[in-house]
């Protein structure tokens, strides 16, 4: 826990004391703990400041801190805001420590804290804080300060503001006068304005002390009693404080005293004052300019605040900029004299500016001598190479001239002098200088295309308000246009291609692609062949660019004259894009709409596939939807990823699909699966769809080639492994399959592997993938699967990375992510258990068959032959009853080999099919967020399982019969509570009683036990009262071994077991001689 000495060591005394006060005043508005000991907080000061603090691992040290206040940026050490946050963290730590205290102790502590806070209503003193504003002109500027009076009924002058602030913060007794004495702890304010003004003073003093404290290594010894803002009863107003004061004041009145004049009531008005100026003719002496508005003073150097008796005007910035020169001129006198020769230049250069901010009254006698004609300007534009040129013409009455080559007239009609408007002329010509035009004879020239576009889009609209604009014939129309609203028509051809045309643009597809290429290069315009600039607007073109680039329309090969041809796989993306984006209109044909509807709502699609009668009682509703979804995609030659959560029956949905499409099939379908799952597929097909002729392509290379050739003619489903496929790919390349399914498709997540390259060479009418984790680490994994499903749909790998992976992962580009989702979501069907919870039984049991490795199988056959010989000898010697223990030992050895021969053979290194399958199952389960119990009768098997889990990065807990009872309880609490270890390895006997492991939702039995009641007891550790999830139970059975025979015996004798056998190891005693002998058969 943080100690006070630790916090004190980070800050100087002044910052520490003020930080403690901030903490006590509750100024830490928000405090949250993030990752790795980092706290985030917001502290209220003169404004809200963000503070971050990182503590050491044990929470008693401070490793780093930051604050957004000025003091933290300028000086070393922790600021008061950081100190306040550290105190708040310290208090939180105390609160956590108190959890172990008695209720009474905690109650006393809390009430002791509460008792030191706000006073009771009877003790409180409610004060009014009333300001008086002083304005004093000194050396050409206005000095501003505030004085305050405070009181309840009678107001008392605060004679020393700094001292008053410090005494209140120190909680002292305050004596203001004979009838006003109160404790600072009881001080409150009677109105909102008083409270806000007080807080302004407190914040100003704190900021001042921070600056003083950090400006000297000895600052903490001298900040008290030092001030540059507070001088006895005065609070000097800096520009920032003055602005804040006027903001707080709002429309409330305030007493003000200007210079030495009498005080008066003042209000702030947010508007422009009315100014009046008179220009008088003095004959030969010239003229006089008089400001008729009296006593108007600038209160700041920018003229944002203007004072006239009774009012402070807070004016807008443009007005302030325009009026400041006028007020500066009249600062020392209300009357300015102009010599006779200065009158005409005044009319030309000054008068237009004065008229913008004041009402100007001109002596009529001037109108007899000067012609004040208005300026009429014309600008003539034409192309100049890649850029543009402009010829200006100015007109006053009948006189017109080009200011670039002609000085212009000086004589109006009659004898009057023509007064040109220098200001307006200069404003117009300055635009050309600002945009880099150069003079060539009588025209301005800008040869650069991009600068010409800037001028036409930015300057020309403003110039159009000051001059008449004319274009040469070469322009034909406006030189800058916006892209017209485009409508894309989409239909489906007879050969299932999308035909795209663009309507209403008057442009070819090639020109539209050129526009989009300029847009993607972040150019603001595109230049058409006729020279017209097309402005590239964000909203419309972003949608259109997504359309063109993400469908491959930008490729030359996709365009055919006025139309484009795209793969049908783009239909769902185009439909989603048009629904989401305002910038794209899509006219869809009837066939296009039907295809989108069938894929979006597959259960309503009109496809040939129906639920097979034999599977209708088995399939759940969501599985029927999965069958319809696969059928809809297949009907249009599209592929997809079935990504249901583990245990929801992805294999069964595929089997139902294959059975539904069996009739009329001219070619077999292919299933590619990991080696550990191949025979599980065969087992599931034989169990749920015996009508399907299925075959595993395995054995030597010659056997595989012969099996493949034969199976193509007489099988409905071929099953092979990824390893076998990549070895035999030349045999598969020349064949066509009706459908191809990849199980555990994450095996092709790396596009550079031989697995990925091999499956992408397959020829199939429809391609599908099964995986619960289509993305494990990178988006490239998703691309690789889609490159198998529908090659080119997600572009090339390089284009995919540039358009999606880099923007999404590195730049967190939301638009790229949204576009990728539009592409892939229609082709990924993923249901989690929580989505279909009502359809699931509380406990789902599943048998999974696994094949032995070649060396494992060879070893098993050898031990089986030896066991047969020993079994026959034992029967001959003493009979079955006399040798049950020896026979059980022979059977146990076979069971160990079926699990992993390394359980008893130290030098064995031939692998285990069961451990391979277990690794696949656990990897997918943990990636899907599941938590597992893994049981085995053999503790050595659990050790080998643990090694495999470590290899794939899965942490686990372990429990067997030797685990002490207190340790068992700790492990159970850790598994159910923390969730850090997703797997719990438990020996079968140790898990039979006394454990409540409802934190798990999946149970794996590595090996079958003689008595299934023992397995059921272990399963019930997870599936019992208090379990809130469905529990999936997986039983791993090694094919063609004693395990398969035990499992079949269990199923055949289940009723006997339920009626006659109590939990224990008595199942073997109930077997006949023939049944035991059968266990030793091949």
What digits encode the pLDDT tens for the residues 206-255?
Answer: 877 776 665 554 444 344 455 678 888 899 998 989 999 999 999 999 99
pLDDT at 432 over 50: yes
| Main-chain dihedrals φ then ψ at residue 236, nearest 5 degrees | -70, 140
| Main-chain dihedrals φ then ψ at residue 653, nearest 5 degrees | -65, -35
pLDDT at 884 over 80: no
R_g of the chain, CA atoms, integer Å: 44
pTM above 0.85, yes or no: no
Q: Higher confidence at residue 486 or residue 310?
A: 310
pLDDT band at 767 (very low <50, low <70, confident <90, very high): very high
Percent of the chain with pLDDT over 70: 88
Determine the pLDDT at residue 919: 93
Residue pLDDT, tens place only, 342-368: 887 888 778 888 888 888 888 888 877
Q: Higher confidence at residue 579 or residue 720?
A: 720
Q: Are 523 and 540 within 8 A, CB to CB?
A: no
Work out whether strand 276-281 and strand 359-362 pair parallel, antiparallel, or are unpaired. Answer: parallel
Determine the pLDDT at residue 559: 64
pLDDT band at 113 (very low <50, low <70, confident <90, very high): very low
pLDDT at 917 over 50: yes
Determine the pLDDT at residue 522: 76
Mean of pLDDT values over 292-303:
85
Determine the pLDDT at residue 665: 79
pLDDT band at 663 (very low <50, low <70, confident <90, very high): confident
Residues 6+ apart with CB under 8 A from 344: 370, 417, 419
Q: Higher confidence at residue 842 or residue 166?
A: 166
Determine the pLDDT at residue 505: 60
- Conformation bin of residue 311: beta by default, left when phi > 0, alpha when psi is -120 to 50: beta
Q: Are 564 and 601 within 8 A, CB to CB?
A: no
Q: Higher confidence at residue 197 or residue 112?
A: 197
Q: How big is the chain, counted in residues? A: 1082
Average confidence score pLDDT of the chain: 84
Q: Are 428 and 418 within 8 A, CB to CB?
A: no
Mean of pLDDT values over 987-998:
73
Percent of the chain with pLDDT over 90: 37
Determine the pLDDT at residue 378: 94
Residue pLDDT, tens place only, 818-838: 889 999 999 999 998 888 878
Determine the pLDDT at residue 104: 41
pLDDT at 936 over 90: yes
pLDDT band at 544 (very low <50, low <70, confident <90, very high): confident
pLDDT at 937 over 50: yes
pLDDT band at 517 (very low <50, low <70, confident <90, very high): confident
Determine the pLDDT at residue 1071: 66
Determine the pLDDT at residue 807: 92
Mean of pLDDT values over 121-149:
85
For the stretch 410-438, what's the b/e string if a residue is b when 16 or more beta carbons lie within 10 angstroms of its beta carbon? eebeeeeebbbbbbbbebbbebbeebbbe
- Conformation bin of residue 295: beta by default, left when phi > 0, alpha when psi is -120 to 50: left
Cα angle 919, 921, 927; round to 5: 100
Give SS3 for 390.
Answer: strand
Determine the pLDDT at residue 757: 95
Determine the pLDDT at residue 415: 63
Q: What count of other Cβ atoms lies within 10 Å of the Cβ of residue 317? A: 10
- The whole-angstrom separation of Cα 320 and Cα 356 is 11
Residue pLDDT, tens place only, 1048-1059: 887 776 655 454
Determine the pLDDT at residue 305: 94
Tell me which of 171-185, 951-965, 1035-1049 is least confident: 171-185
Mean of pLDDT values over 363-377:
81
End-to-end CA distance of the chain: 68
Determine the pLDDT at residue 219: 44
Determine the pLDDT at residue 994: 59
pLDDT band at 853 (very low <50, low <70, confident <90, very high): very high
pLDDT band at 1027 (very low <50, low <70, confident <90, very high): low
- The whole-angstrom separation of Cα 453 and Cα 468 is 19
pLDDT band at 119 (very low <50, low <70, confident <90, very high): very low
Residues 6+ apart with CB under 8 A from 572: 596, 599, 600, 822, 826, 827
Closest CA to 657 of 595, 722, 740: 740
- The whole-angstrom separation of Cα 378 and Cα 403 is 11
Q: Higher confidence at residue 112 or residue 7?
A: 7
DSSP assignment letter at 411: B
Closest CA to 389 of 399, 401, 404, 377: 404
Mean of pLDDT values over 1013-1026:
67
Q: Mean pLDDT: which of 140-144, 181-185, 914-918 is highest?
A: 914-918
For residue 672, the surrounding DSSP H or E stretch is strand 669-673
Tell me which of 476-485, 595-604, 851-860, 1066-1075 is least confident: 1066-1075
- The whole-angstrom separation of Cα 728 and Cα 709 is 12
Mean of pLDDT values over 875-892:
79
Tell me which of 68-77, 355-364, 676-685, 1045-1054 is least confident: 68-77
Mean of pLDDT values over 82-86:
93
pLDDT band at 539 (very low <50, low <70, confident <90, very high): low
Tell me which of 50-59, 84-93, 512-521, 686-695 is least confident: 512-521
Tell me which of 97-111, 241-255, 929-943, 1014-1028 is least confident: 97-111
Work out whether strand 287-291 and strand 276-281 pair parallel, antiparallel, or are unpaired. Answer: antiparallel
Determine the pLDDT at residue 950: 94
Q: How many CA atoms lie within 13 A of 883 on its CB side?
A: 17
pLDDT at 526 over 90: no
Determine the pLDDT at residue 414: 60
Q: Higher confidence at residue 1053 or residue 72?
A: 72
């Amino acid at each position: 826990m943080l100690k006070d000495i630790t916090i004190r060591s980070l800050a100087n005394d002044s910052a520490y004391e003020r930080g403690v006060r901030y903490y006590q005043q509750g100024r830490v508005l928000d405090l949250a703990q993030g990752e790795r000991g980092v706290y985030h907080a917001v502290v209220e000061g003169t404004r809200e400041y963000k503070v971050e603090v990182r503590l050491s691992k044990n929470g008693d040290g401070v490793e780093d801190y930051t604050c957004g206040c000025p003091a933290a940026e300028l000086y070393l050490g922790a600021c008061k805001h950081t100190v306040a946050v550290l105190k708040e963290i310290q208090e939180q730590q105390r609160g956590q420590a108190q959890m172990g205290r008695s209720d009474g102790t905690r109650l006393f502590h809390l009430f002791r804290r509460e008792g030191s806070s706000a006073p009771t209503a009877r003790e409180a003193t409610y004060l009014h804080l009333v300001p008086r504003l002083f304005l004093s002109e000194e050396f050409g500027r206005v000095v501003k300060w505030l004085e305050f009076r405070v009181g309840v009924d009678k107001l008392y002058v605060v004679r020393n503001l700094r001292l008053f602030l410090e005494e209140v913060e120190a909680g002292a007794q305050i004596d203001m006068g004979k009838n006003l004495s109160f404790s600072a702890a009881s001080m409150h304010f009677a109105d909102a304005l008083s409270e806000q003004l007080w807080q302004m003073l407190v914040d100003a003093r704190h900021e001042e002390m921070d600056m003083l404290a950090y400006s000297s290594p000895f600052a903490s010894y001298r900040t008290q009693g030092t001030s540059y803002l507070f001088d006895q009863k005065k609070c000097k107003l800096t520009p920032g404080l003055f602005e804040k004061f006027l903001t707080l004041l709002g429309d409330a009145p305030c007493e003000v005293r200007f210079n030495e004049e009498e005080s008066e009531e003042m209000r702030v008005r947010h508007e422009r004052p009315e100014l009046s100026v008179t220009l008088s003719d003095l004959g030969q002496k010239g003229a006089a300019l008089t400001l008729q508005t009296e006593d108007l003073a600038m209160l700041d150097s920018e003229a944002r605040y203007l004072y006239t008796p009774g009012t402070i005007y807070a004016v807008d910035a443009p007005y302030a900029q325009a009026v400041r020169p006028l007020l500066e001129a009249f600062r020392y006198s209300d009357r300015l004299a102009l010599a006779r020769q200065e009158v005409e230049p005044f009319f030309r250069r000054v008068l237009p500016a004065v008229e913008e901010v004041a009402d100007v009254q001109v002596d009529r006698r001037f109108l007899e001598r000067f012609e004040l004609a208005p300026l009429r300007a014309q600008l003539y534009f034409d192309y100049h190479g890649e850029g543009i040129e402009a010829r200006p013409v100015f007109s006053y009455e009948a006189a017109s001239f080009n200011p670039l080559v002609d000085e212009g007239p000086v004589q109006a009609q009659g004898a009057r002098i023509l007064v040109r408007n220098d200001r307006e002329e200069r404003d117009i010509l300055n635009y050309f200088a600002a945009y880099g035009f150069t003079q060539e004879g009588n025209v301005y020239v800008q040869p650069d295309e991009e600068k010409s576009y800037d001028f036409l889009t930015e300057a020309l609209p403003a110039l159009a308000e000051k001059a008449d604009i004319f274009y040469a014939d070469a322009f034909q129309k406006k030189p800058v246009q916006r892209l017209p609203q485009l409508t894309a028509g989409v239909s489906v051809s007879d050969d299932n291609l999308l035909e795209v045309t663009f309507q209403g643009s008057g442009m070819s597809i090639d020109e539209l692609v050129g526009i989009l290429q300029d847009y993607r290069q972040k150019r603001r315009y595109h230049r058409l062949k006729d020279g017209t600039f097309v402005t590239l607007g964000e909203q419309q073109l972003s949608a259109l660019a997504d359309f063109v680039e993400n469908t491959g329309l930008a490729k030359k090969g996709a365009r055919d004259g006025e139309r484009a041809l795209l793969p049908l796989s783009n239909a769902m993306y185009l439909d989603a894009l048009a629904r989401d984006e305002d910038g794209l209109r899509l006219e869809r044909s009837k066939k296009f709409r039907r295809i989108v509807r069938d894929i979006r709502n597959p259960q309503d699609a009109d496809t040939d596939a129906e639920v097979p009668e034999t599977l209708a009682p088995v399939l759940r509703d969501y599985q029927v939807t999965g069958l319809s979804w696969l059928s809809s995609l297949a009907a249009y030659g599209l592929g997809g990823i079935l990504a249901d959560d583990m245990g929801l029956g992805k294999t069964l949905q595929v089997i139902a699909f294959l059975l539904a499409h069996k009739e009329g099939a001219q070619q077999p379908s292919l299933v590619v699966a990991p080696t550990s799952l191949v025979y599980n597929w065969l087992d599931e097909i034989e169990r749920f769809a015996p009508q399907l002729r299925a075959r595993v392509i395995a054995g030597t290379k010659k056997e595989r080639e012969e099996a493949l050739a034969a199976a193509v003619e007489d099988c409905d489903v071929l099953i092979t492994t990824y390893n076998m496929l990549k070895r035999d790919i030349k045999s598969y390349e020349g064949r066509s399959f009706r459908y191809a399914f990849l199980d555990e498709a994450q095996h092709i997540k790396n596009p550079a592997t031989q697995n990925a390259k091999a499956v992408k060479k397959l020829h199939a009418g429809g391609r599908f993938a099964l995986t619960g984790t289509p993305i494990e680490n990178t988006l490239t994994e998703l691309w690789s699967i889609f490159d198998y499903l529908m090659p080119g749909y997600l572009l090339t790998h390089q284009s995919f990375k540039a358009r999606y992976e880099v923007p999404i992962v590195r730049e967190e580009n939301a638009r790229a992510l949204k576009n990728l989702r539009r592409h892939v979501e229609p082709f990924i069907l993923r249901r989690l258990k929580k989505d279909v919870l009502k359809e699931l039984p509380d406990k789902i049991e599943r048998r999974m068959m696994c094949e032995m490795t070649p060396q494992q199988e060879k070893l098993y056959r050898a031990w089986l032959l030896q066991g047969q010989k020993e079994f026959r000898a034992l029967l001959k010697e003493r009979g079955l009853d006399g040798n049950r223990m020896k026979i059980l030992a022979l059977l146990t050895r076979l069971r160990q080999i079926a699990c992993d021969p390394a359980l008893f053979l130290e030098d064995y290194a031939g692998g285990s099919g069961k451990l391979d399958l277990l690794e696949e199952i656990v990897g997918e389960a943990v990636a899907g967020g599941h938590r597992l119990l893994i049981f085995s009768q053999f503790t050595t098997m659990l050790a080998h399982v643990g090694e495999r889990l470590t290899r794939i990065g899965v942490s686990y807990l372990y429990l067997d019969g030797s685990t002490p009872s207190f340790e068992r309880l700790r492990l159970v609490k850790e598994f159910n509570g923390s969730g850090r270890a997703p797997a719990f390895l438990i020996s079968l006997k140790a898990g039979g009683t006394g454990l409540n492991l409802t934190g798990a939702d999946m149970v794996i039995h590595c090996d079958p036990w003689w008595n299934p009641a023992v397995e059921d007891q272990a399963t019930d550790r997870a599936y019992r009262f208090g379990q809130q999830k469905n529990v999936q139970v997986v039983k791993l059975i090694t094919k063609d071994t004693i395990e398969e025979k035990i499992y079949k015996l269990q199923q055949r004798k289940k009723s006997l077991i339920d009626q006659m056998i109590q939990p224990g190891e008595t199942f073997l005693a109930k077997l006949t001689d023939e049944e035991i002998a059968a266990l030793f058969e091949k």
